[in-house]
Amino acid sequence: MNWFNVRKLFIRELLGQLRDRRTIFTTVLLPVMIYPVLGLVMMQVAQFVTENSSKVVFVGQYSFSEFPELIQHDPTSAVLDGELQLPDALLSVVAEEFPEHATVDGVQQSLQQRLDSKEFDAALILSPQFHEYLQYLKAAVESGRSAREELEKLDPSEIPGPVIVYNSVADKSKIARARISNLLEHWEERVRDTLFELGNLPSGVATPIALQLDDIAPEESQAAEFWASMIPIMLLLWTLSGAFYPAVDLCAGEKERGTLETLLCGPAKRVEIVTGKLLTVMCFSFATSLANLVAIAFTGVFMISKVMPVGSDLHAKLGVFPGWSILWSLVVLIPLVAMFSALALAAATFARSSKEGQYYMMPLLMLALPLSMISVMPNVELDLGTSLIPVAGSALLLRNLVESQFDVALRFAIPVMASSAFCCYLTVRWATFQFNSEAVLFRESEKWDIRLWVRQLFRNKPILPTGGMAIFAAISILMLRYIASASATTPETYQDFVFDNSLSLVLTVGVPAILVACLLTRSPASALRLKMPSLSILGIAIVLPFLLHPSVIWLGEAIQYLYPINPGMKAATAGLEQMLGTAPLYAMLIAIAFVPGVFEELAFRGIILTGLEKDARPSSAIFVSAAFFGITHGILQQSLNAFVIGILLGYVAVRCGSLIPTIIMHILHNGITVILSREGTADAISGLLIDHNGGKIYSPAVAVIGALVAIVLLVILHKITKSHDVDPVPESESPQGVYG
């Protein structure tokens, strides 16, 4: 072998790959840029897996004379709404008397029904016989050897120990059972130490308390627990992979074979071509999922059951496959298959070759995997909030179907399907847009030299930013925000908060946008939409925040209803909120209203929205810029609220062609929120407020009236900007469809 030739060929092929900028981007730059973005998303998803207190019911007497207390009262324990809070044990205890003349079996049946209705997470039964047993145990240890020998003969199964009623299929119930068991284990140690002090404890009662478990989960649900955690993730991966490879062949493959031009010259419309290809990809995706399900069912039921001995734990978990439940899950896959197929089709359309198309598989997986992993996280259940999360809601619904929890699945099936159908609609629109773009379908080879590229980037600068510049600015901002969030420390004074928050927003949000506008465009003012609008538009921009503020507050309440703020997060921010509540008003207005209102608008409604508008429809540009705006907010509830507000601000910026109205609206909205949080302000507008969850909030009538008047003003804004030329640059360089 001639190593000289090998070295020459290696250098040739390596340089050839490095000249393809999309290869470099997808293999090197994309992971570096996307992981901080995923980090921001995971910081918001983290509240779903943080530990909350488990609500449990203690039936019977849990205080025993001359024995240690089962529930140790300390200064941190508190009673709220009749529930004893145990922060150290993460338990919220409701004490109930053991019914007179009742049996343990009767109490168990009653608790099973209440637990099945989700009244609490788990229950602990402490029968009167258990109290008598403890007294007998104490007397036997104190009396002497003969009594202790008699005690050693006790059958552990006859000992009336505590009974825990729980549901092994429900994550919250399993966590509650583990916490109760941990509490009982520590108490048992203290009981044993007490008995040792009274006398020599017999070896037969080294474990004086025999714990009993009552699992109310159906046998088929217990057997399907393993499959319920595995099948949703596997199905999602099969669905995506089954859609991606046919999509690459149908789009990028046709480009390589030269048959795409012939297809486009035919009588079929572009949307008809997209629909035909989409249905084809969906068939392959669904068939892949079905074939894998059949294969794993055969393996699980026949192969594993033959290998593993009957009656073993592994046989019980792997040898029982929930076949009929899986058939129901195929219905859930239909909108999910359509969404993944459209995503794969759009990505494959953008690819110039089959090789390039393979590179786009990893970004799609990186988007789908974190969402699908929510289904295996502890303490995360299917509810109205999680059912609206794309992919995650489908994964949780699949888990409930596999576990035969059809009551929960049917209750939230419609929100899950609606969320998936809406995402499917958006992805189909994106795929159609890709097929309607000649620049995407017939892209030429993109071999490049980095020196020539940098030189051209600064010499031949466009008047307005491009879509690539907008995405670069957005990703850069998200990366910087992630770094700032990870390195942030808790401020000790309000001065620290004002300085840190303001400096962070300027450096991580404002500076990247201003640099892109100044360095990469010929008209920074046009790129940032810095143009003075008419006085009528300014008047509407000033009035709108006052009218919409009640609706925005109620929107926040609705979001918190769907996604409650984690108690741990509330406790962590309580001290900061108290400190900021006593800070001077001007300082809070600077940090929370003025600085975000200016620099966030320069970034998201300025450089990002303007760049996206140039390469996409205005509605799509507004939606994407609002999504980036929402992700930058570290808390999930704030992100969703910011996303909705970002859509409104984006619409105003597009209609007016100016950033001045949105800056005014942003500053005023945040400023109103700061002022209303001050003591005494609520008294001044008490006629507009009502009591709600222990606080004050706008009355629904005020919110509805304000929203209706705001809609009228938005209609007026739409009309007065319809024929008004707000673009300061030539039409060839202006964003597409400024006025819709």
- Residue bearing the bigger pLDDT, 662 or 235: 662
- The answer, yes or no, to whether residue 647 has pLDDT greater than 90, is yes
**DSSP notation for 477-532:** HHHHHHHHHHH----SSHHHHHHHHHHHHIIIIIHHHHHHHHHH-S-HHHHTT---
Burial of residue 83 (CB within 10 Å: 0-12, 13-18, 19+) is middle
Q: How many CB atoms lie within 10 A of CB 46?
A: 13
Average pLDDT (18-42) is: 63
Note the pLDDT of residue 310: 58
149-158, 581-590, 651-660: which has the minimum mean pLDDT? Answer: 149-158
Assigned token pair, 396 = 């949780």
- The predicted model gives 173-194 an average pLDDT of 82
- pLDDT confidence of residue 596: 93
Q: Which two tokens stand for residue 174?
A: 């399993």
DSSP 8-state symbol, 216 = -
The answer to whether 709 and 547 have CB atoms below 8 angstroms apart is yes
Q: For each of the domains in the chain, give its residue range(s) and CATH number, in order of start.
A: 1-48 (no CATH), 54-217 (3.40.1710), 222-441 (no CATH), 455-733 (no CATH)
Statement: residue 423 has pLDDT above 90: no
pLDDT beyond 80 at 53: no
Please state, in angstroms and rounded to a whole number, the distance separating the CA atoms of residues 180 and 172.
Answer: 12
Residue 614 and residue 466 in contact, taking contact as beta carbons nearer than 8 Å:
yes
pLDDT attached to residue 549: 93
Please determine, for residue 275, whether its predicted confidence score (pLDDT) is greater than 70: yes
Q: Evaluate whether 643 touches 630 at the Cβ level (below 8 Å).
A: yes
Range with lowest mean pLDDT among 449-463, 606-620, 692-706: 449-463
Q: Which one is predicted more confidently, 414 or 158?
A: 414
Residue 595: predicted pLDDT: 94
Q: Is the pLDDT of residue 58 over 60?
A: yes
pLDDT of residue 39: 67
Q: What is the pTM of this model?
A: 0.75
Average pLDDT over residues 700-712: 93
- The two beta strands, 91-96 and 54-60, are parallel
Kindly state the tokens that stand for 539: 């008047």
User: Is pLDDT above 50 for 639?
Assistant: yes
Between these two residues, 73 and 66, which has the higher pLDDT value? 66
Q: Which residue has the higher pLDDT, 150 or 669?
A: 669
Give the largest Cα separation in the chain, rounded: 105
Q: Choose from 57-71, 136-150, 210-224 the range with maximum mean pLDDT.
A: 57-71
Q: List, for residues 351-399, the tens digit of each pLDDT value.
A: 777 777 777 777 777 777 777 777 777 667 788 888 888 888 888 888 8
Residue 487 CA to residue 503 CA, distance in Å, equals 14
Query: What's the average model confidence in pLDDT over 238-251?
Result: 84
> Between these two residues, 582 and 552, which has the higher pLDDT value?
552
Query: What is the reported pLDDT for 200?
Result: 56
Instruction: Identify the DSSP state of 71.
Output: S
pLDDT value of residue 147? 47
State the pLDDT confidence band at 16, using cuts at 50, 70 and 90: low
Local confidence band at 222 (pLDDT 50, 70, 90 cut-offs): low
Gap between the Cα atoms of 409 and 398, Å rounded: 8
d(CA 613, CA 625): 10
User: Secondary structure of the chain: what % helix, strand, coil (to 5)?
Assistant: 70, 5, 25
Confidence label for 509 from pLDDT (cuts 50, 70 and 90): very high
Give 534-560 pLDDT, tens digit per residue. Answer: 899 999 999 999 999 999 999 998 988
Which amino acid is present at 496?
A: D
